[in-house]
Chains A and B, each alone.
Chain A
Amino acid sequence: MGLFTRRKMAEKTKDESYKVQSTTSLDENLEKIKLMLTDCEDIIYKEFRVGVEQDLRFTLIFTDGLVDKPFINDSILADLMYHAREISPDAPELKDELYKLVRYGSIPSPELKEIRNLDDAILAILTGDTVMLIDGTANIIVIGTKGWPARGVSEPSTEAVIRGPREGFTETYRFNSALVRRRIRDPRLKLKQMQIGRRSFTDIGMMYIEDIAKPELVKEVKRRLATIDIDAILDSGYIEELIEDNPFSLFPQIKATERPDKVAAALYQGKVAILIDNTPFALIVPATFNAFFHAAEDHYIRWIPATVLRLMRFIAGTLSLIMPALYIAVTSYHPGILPTELVLSIAAAREGVPFPAVIEALILELTFELLREAGVRLPTLIGGVVGIVGGLVIGQAAVEAGIVSPIMVIIVAVTAISSFSIPDYSFSNAFRLFRFLLIFAAGFLGLYGMILGLLLMIGHLVRLKSFGTPYLSPFVSFTASDLKDTFVRLPIFMMKNRPLGIAKDKIRMVNNRGEIKQTKDGYNNGEGADKNDKK
């Protein structure tokens, strides 16, 4: 029943006629607004009069803390209150044309718009704009005066690079869209804005490049966003969970990033980005398994090291997934597959350990996860102490007490280090959880169980889709040419096409390095050098 009424309500609010219309009487409008904003003590009402006879009444309404006060003082109040006096006092036309004069002449603000209903006015006030009521007209002027204490653009701490831009998104939506726009000076870069959240009215921006992104994809993203009907959106995680294909999957199907260059790169590939106010994380759809292993830097450093690093990352990812399970399976079920010397040293290390390998692994893995969880919440100073204490407890005391074997410590440590090399936090979480599942499977069924577990995972991944793109593409729905940017990263001059599976416009580059033919002395007499000169 509750659902039914809610839907009815939703339909009502979308209806324009439901909104309260403003009237020509300032007092009446003001009274209505004040009634709506009762007990909102951070709202400031500034009433003032203009004219020789002080009979032209104005009221400014804005929220304290969300507005740029010097701007209101210098550009609205000063202009209207002082300059208005310099105009001939009793020009009769002034009164009639008051609204037009103010609207088009008196306020030196770039952002001005007029509205005719009080609901929008209140929303504007709460967004940080200033609302001007003028006696005698039903038009309400909204002046863009947003200005609040905001964190500056700084280096994203979760996706730091050695080479590459150090800009990261901030909590302010408008900065973020500007950061992306700066990287794409193309009129075909579209930014569709909407407000989601019945109470929060959070600004959401959907960005895509019109002729690269597939229209089906754009429509689908728009549709899914439109289905959201919730009281508030506090972070990108809300949107992610509400629009992803399979919320029950361990694997994230949407990529969250703090880096504007990453968003721009994704847009150039034909993906769609979603910017959300109040969070420095933008969402990129569709996201594939492959993309979660890529770091921003891969395309900024030279391609050979980039390829090696990427391969290493894939190997590390695999290790972080299967290492403890493999160890358990081998030591508890199949010691025959190891070299004899290694078997003997493992057996020697495990001598006297009271737990079976699977329990030992669980103890250490859980301790590690605990340490990690504790370290995340603590301030940096204490976090370091936790690391030392934890390291000592795990590495030294537990081994000496004979509770765990030193080899297991090595296994867990290598697993931990490997898991940190997966660039994406939420993706590495999936591996983290799946690791435990594999530990159990290996503990019960040995290698057979481990392989069963992996098959389960791969089966799931093959089925999974992210906004119509298979999660494992380009490995499934195979396009050989898309493999150029997977385990390896081919030189940029070889990546002449955009990913075929995603982009609509596939040609990315027509020039090629063949034109950089060198003569014997290394120069080419500047042939074609003026191509980029401004004419």
Chain B
Amino acid sequence: MRIFKIIVILILCAIILTACWDKVEIEDRLFVLGIGIDKAKEEEKSQPTDRYVINFASPIVSALKNGGEETFSTYKTISSIFALGLNQMYERIDKKLSFQHTRVLIFGEDLLKDERLFREVLDAVGRAHDFHRNMYVFAVPGRADEVFKIKPKFTSILAMYVSGIAENNLYQSSIYKMPAYQMYDNLINTEGDTVIPTLRPSKEEAKVSGVGIIKDYKLVGYLDDKDSETLNWLNNSANGGIIAGQHKGVEVPYKYNDFNTKLKLDKVEGDKIYLTYNMEAEGSAEEYIWNQSLLDQKLLDDLEDNLEKIIEERSKSVVDKFQKEFKVDLIGVAEYLRKNHSEIYKAIEKNYESFFESNIVIEIEAKAAIRRVGTIE
């Protein structure tokens, strides 16, 4: 009997004292699927202290069910503090904001160029417990709120459309995929350096092409889509894509579905460190020219050599860009040295940036294999 009393008391405590305080029915939540953050322009400010323009995109749930015209809505708020901006929304909606399903986080160019604002936002998003760590981060050359004016053609919900593009990097490696956790990881490890894929909005669609380079919490430049594919190769995050090659005046697209990169320390000589990226691509020749067999071993060898040259050249040029132009290591050298050769890394850690620029010599060695040549010969 005593145990029954205890159980009854426990149950009563649970019911009376807790009283379902954090219970919010699913239909009473407003799922914010996309957030865009811009630096407020002077003419937008309602108060002089306002600094942020925050855009939201949420699905209209009833339209999803009954097939209404508008399946998502966007709304924006202007505020001096990011968290305040989120909370200000409660003055205008009758639901509880839920960020558990936020899929995309979009930064405007102005914000990325303002170190202080960017760091504030990063901290706010990083601290908040209900943001999904898997949401994709994008940078917009221009204003993030442009994205929220898009009416996507194929997908009914804007944020799903954008995050869907990011997931296409399985087939097209020029799309750089950057989930929030990875961005935070980079920022923490490098103290402020990362790449953020760029999202270029137009009227009916957006395009993910190229990446923005963040150095010391500031946007310092962009890479185009070709270079972002190369960056994927260098970082061993490429999954598939097509390399346009040429052979004796014939265009030969090479479709790779496997791309592996391994970084290797060759030698340390004097104050220089020699590293090699070993790249291995496997795939198929997609076209050559009609009525020309591709089953000729010599031709294939030629094609492969050609491809290897292209890969090496492109990689080299991107490496050069990072070393000479941006002077920031976003190609994984520091991470490799830190993990595999920590004593070397420790020695150069202090002055890594300038060391990376001049004293690290990088070689590329590519190996491309054409495994398949198509159906009709």
Contacts and interface: CB of A to CB of B under 8 A. Distances in A.
B213 to A, nearest CB: 30
Given A333-B22, A335-B100, A340-B101, A353 B27 contact: yes
B124 interface: no
B25 A343 contact: no
B268 interface: no
A333 B20 CA distance: 9
A376 interface: no
Contacts of B14: 441, 444-445, 449, 452
Contacts of A340: 31, 33, 101, 103, 160
A331 B26 contact: yes
A526 interface: no
Interface in B135-187: 157, 160
B1 to A, nearest CB: 10
Nearest to B27: A350
A344 B64 CA distance: 8
Contacts of B190: none
A356 B20 CA distance: 12
Interface string B20-47: 1011111101010100000000000000
Contact of A347 (B7, B15, B61, B160): B61
Contact of A349 (B65, B101, B157): B65
Given A443-B20, A444-B14, A446-B23, A335 B101 contact: yes
Contact of A348 (B20, B23, B64): B64
A357 B27 CA distance: 10
A246 to B, nearest CB: 12
A481 interface: no
A351 B100 contact: no
A260 to B, nearest CB: 40
B20 A357 contact: no
B292 interface: no
B98 interface: yes
B26 A346 contact: yes
A343 B103 CA distance: 13
B130 interface: yes
A347 B31 contact: yes
A332 B101 contact: no
A345 interface: yes
A110 interface: no
A350 B28 CA distance: 10
Given A340-B31, A343-B101, A332 B64 contact: no
A343 B159 CA distance: 14
Contacts of A379: none
Contacts of B59: 344
A335 B62 CA distance: 18
Interface in A235-277: none
A456 B11 CA distance: 11
A383 B62 CA distance: 38
A459 B114 CA distance: 57
A437 to B, nearest CB: 9
B22 A446 contact: yes
B132 interface: yes
B363 to A, nearest CB: 44
Contacts of B19: 444
B103 A348 contact: no
A351 B65 contact: yes
Contacts of A334: 100
Nearest to B7: A456
A336 interface: yes
Contacts of B130: 336
B18 interface: yes
A335 B20 CA distance: 15
B22 A335 contact: no
Central interface residue in A344, A348, A351, A443, by most chain B CB within 10 Å: A344
Central interface residue in A347, A357, A446, A452, by most chain B CB within 10 Å: A347
A449 to B, nearest CB: 7
Nearest to A334: B100
Nearest to B102: A340
Interface in A433-454: 441, 443-446, 449, 452
Contacts of A449: 14
Interface in A340-371: 340-341, 343-353, 356-357
B57 to A, nearest CB: 12
Nearest to A348: B65
A336 B100 CA distance: 5
A255 B33 CA distance: 53
B11 to A, nearest CB: 9
B103 A332 contact: no
Given A356-B23, A444-B18, A335 B65 contact: no
A453 to B, nearest CB: 10
A353 B31 CA distance: 18
Contacts of A331: 25-26
Contacts of B24: 332-333
Given A340-B33, A344-B64, A345-B64, A335 B103 contact: no
Nearest to B99: A336
Contact of B98 (A335, A348, A349, A357): A335
A332 B15 CA distance: 16
Contact of A336 (B18, B22, B101): B101
Contacts of B15: 444
Interface in A475-528: none
Nearest to B24: A332
Given A335-B26, A445-B20, 10 more contacts: A332-B25, A333-B23, A340-B33, A341-B160, A347-B61, A348-B61, A348-B64, A351-B65, A352-B62, A444-B20
Interface of B: 7, 14-15, 18-20, 22-27, 29, 31, 33, 59, 61-62, 64-65, 98, 100-101, 103, 130, 132, 157, 160
10 contacts: A332-B24, A335-B31, A336-B101, A336-B132, A340-B101, A348-B62, A441-B14, A444-B20, A452-B14, A456-B7
